[in-house]
Amino acid sequence: MLTSNTDMHIARTLQELREHLAPFRKPAFVPTMGNLHEGHLALIAKAKPLGDVTVASIFVNRLQFLPHEDFDTYPRTWDADCAKLEAAGCDVLFAPNERELYPEPQTYKVHPPAELADILEGHFRPGFFVGVSTVVMKLFACVQPRVAVFGKKDYQQLMVIRGMVRQFALPIEIIACETKRAEDGLALSSRNGYLSPAQREEAVQLSVTLQRVAAAVQRGRRDLAALEEEAMEALAHRGWKPDYVTVRRCSDLQPPLDQEPLVVLGAAKLGATRLIDSLEF
């Protein structure tokens, strides 16, 4: 049977989930890896009016972590997560363990196109979007939502998921939610908790850098390679280890050609913590 956290139902198995969702016609879904913050809760708030039942999942997906990354140490804050989801009005939490979601080795995987998935994040984290696409496809199969909400902070992930849904003709509307930020402008992230107080104060410089790049392009600067290099050098001078700061087309994350909606994306390490951010303009 389902366990209940007052009004929020917690399903640990696929059978339990499907039994509980059977009466509903339009689930609205927010997949997460837990360690929830206000950004996740904004996704829940966005999802609630879009369906007849609001479903979240918590699953730390081993497939999207490289061997040297933080799968084992990724923060797992179950009690706090449940309390936050319940307070946000989530109706159902799907929280399978690895054996439930991957009862046998996951040899069938979703491989997004290289021109989208092997650039930027995919270049620095090879196989990352195979892991993301595979687990999201599987969670979609479990929940069978009609609407799913993703944040714009993980901009490339949003693009990959939208493309997957479109090409597989999944009956799911993908809704994008604006990046939730702290008062100083830092994009909220589960990994922000790794930062020391001094690093947390410095961390806002990633979003400041992206804002400066966007402003320069809006003022008419077109030597984007030089602008991007200057931005990375500025971060490096402050003690960061930048992977990329780049201006791309919103439509496909390729380099700009003409007047079109753009996004500036950045990823950099501050100490041992890797942060990402994006800004449409």
Strand partners, 274: 269
Annotated catalytic residue 40: yes
Q: Which residue out of 40, 68, 123, 237 is catalytically annotated? A: 40
Cα–Cα distances in Å, from 43 out to 51, 52, 153, 177?
13, 16, 12, 6
Count Cα neighbours of 250 within 13 Å in the Cβ-side half-sphere: 11
In three-state form (DSSP H/G/I as H, E/B as E, the rest C), the secondary structure along 208-253 is HHHHHHHHHHHCCCCCHHHHHHHHHHHHHHCCCEEEEEEEEECCCC
**Cα dihedral 152/154/160/164 (nearest 10):** -70
Positions marked catalytic: 40
